[in-house]
Amino acid sequence: MRVFSNTQRPLAVFEAWIRSREYQRANGGPLVIVDEKGEVVCGKNGKPKPFHLVIVATGGGLSGVVSAGMFDVLQEEGYSDDPIGLVAVSAGLPNVLAFGCRKSHEVIPFYEHLVRQPFINLFRRGDPRMRLREDVILPMIRMLDHEKLRTYKPEIYVVLTEWESGKGRVVRLKVEDDPADWGWVTQAAMTIPNLSPPVELTNIIPKEPHRKLRFVDGASSKPLPLGEAMRATRPTHILVLAPRPLPTDLPLWESHFYWWLGQLGLWGVPSPTRKGTLSMDQETGKAIKRMQEIHPRVECTALFPKAGNALPTFFLSSFYTEWKVMMARKAGEGGKDLMRQCLYNAHLAVERHRGEMVF
């Protein structure tokens, strides 16, 4: 696992989250920022600073099962009960939606179901069996607990890419409304260029609610939207959960294979969107470098699996279904192991300062 942070403590966000929860259990009230000595951090007005975390779930196709495992462990440990912001890119969206309604435990089986569908094959460009809405979006929406989404009203943002211009848009998903109202936005956010038709939407452009534009997968423009997440949610802490390794950690053959598939599958895609789709990994690497330069008053931690923990690119084009199911299950369990390891190490770091705490 690769862990990145903009502080000297790689797991700073987890440590802060644990301290905040412990203080809340001992004293009640909302989550507030607590320093390493257990003292509440106050603002200029003398009031405790609220702890406001945003989780950014990046995309990665079926590799999203890795971060599904991460979210599952967070839910098991009760972290889904905290009021946090969620920003989803592409395949990160099912994980975020399930986490928002406390159904993360159903997402790995959902991925196992997905890999059995005949549409998941990058060589079937234009094949009518590639039914994103019928085989992915609608089953995903049925998996969710709509009443819990309406009750909890999780703060969820998704990333869209304008089909013609390649420009990225970050919009709030109004999950408190009927799924029929936000289901098309969900489909657009997960529409890989050329594998499914662009989705026409209105009420996306500020001050132009009636303007119609076509949108596809947000990873084609903003694979890791840190700046947008900060502007939309004003967090004190940012946690990035990524299902795919950084390009520097990918085997050379896999990088070349991905490039070849991208060139093969993007014929006819508008040039800006095509360029953005092919440069997703490079843009993610740049975003991580920018993240490490963010002022420490907003603590950031990013988790990336290594190549052995994620699904290889050729997995998407495999024809042997049971092998794909086995690999998906293994990758999901790998994500669980990564999150458990992070939480364990973060708890150890907090315990080292236990004697100085003043709870």
CA 210/CA 232 separation, integer angstroms: 22
- Average pLDDT of span 7-33: 94
Residue-wise pLDDT tens digits, 29-67: 999 999 988 899 998 888 999 999 999 999 988 889 999
What does the CA dihedral 13, 14, 20, 25 come to, rounded to 10 degrees? 170
Q: Which residues pair with 55 in a beta bridge?
A: 86, 239
- If pLDDT is split at 50, 70 and 90, which confidence band does 359 have? very low
Residue type, 257: F
Count of CB atoms situated within 10 Å of the CB of 265: 20
**pTM for this entry:** 0.92
Q: Which residues pair with 2 in a beta bridge?
A: 304
Residue 124 has pLDDT above 60, yes or no: no
CA 34/CA 24 separation, integer angstroms: 10
Pair 243, 225: CB distance under 8 Å: no
Pair 288, 302: CB distance under 8 Å: yes
Pair 58, 219: CB distance under 8 Å: yes
Count of CB atoms situated within 10 Å of the CB of 295: 8
CA atoms within 13 A on the CB side of 27: 17
CA 161/CA 167 separation, integer angstroms: 6
Q: pLDDT averaged over the chain? A: 87
SS3 of residue 337 by DSSP: helix
Predicted local confidence at residue 200, as pLDDT: 94
Contacts of 212 (CB under 8 A, 6+ apart): 200, 201, 202
Predicted local confidence at residue 257, as pLDDT: 63
Predicted local confidence at residue 57, as pLDDT: 97
**Token pair listed for 43:** 């603002």
Matching residue, tokens 């956010």: 189
DSSP 209-269: TT--EEEEEGGGT-SS-HHHHHHHH--SEEEEE-SS--GGGS-HHHHHHHHHHHHHH-TTS
Give the single-character DSSP code of 42.
B
Q: Taking Cα atoms as reference points, which of 202, 68, 199 lies closest to residue 133?
A: 199
Predicted local confidence at residue 358, as pLDDT: 44
- If pLDDT is split at 50, 70 and 90, which confidence band does 196 have? confident
CA 1/CA 345 separation, integer angstroms: 13
Cβ neighbourhood burial of 278 (10 Å; 0-12, 13-18, 19+): middle
Among 43-52, 64-73, 171-180, 350-359, whose mean pLDDT is lowest?
350-359
Pair 163, 270: CB distance under 8 Å: yes
CA distances 116 to 93, 136, 158, 207, 322, Å, are 20, 11, 26, 43, 8
- If pLDDT is split at 50, 70 and 90, which confidence band does 129 have? very low
Residue-wise pLDDT tens digits, 271-322: 999 899 888 888 998 999 999 999 888 999 999 998 767 666 555 555 577 8
Give the single-character DSSP code of 164.
T
Predicted local confidence at residue 11, as pLDDT: 95
Residue 120 has pLDDT above 60, yes or no: no
- If pLDDT is split at 50, 70 and 90, which confidence band does 193 have? confident
Pair 70, 241: CB distance under 8 Å: yes
Residue 119 has pLDDT above 80, yes or no: no
Contacts of 355 (CB under 8 A, 6+ apart): none
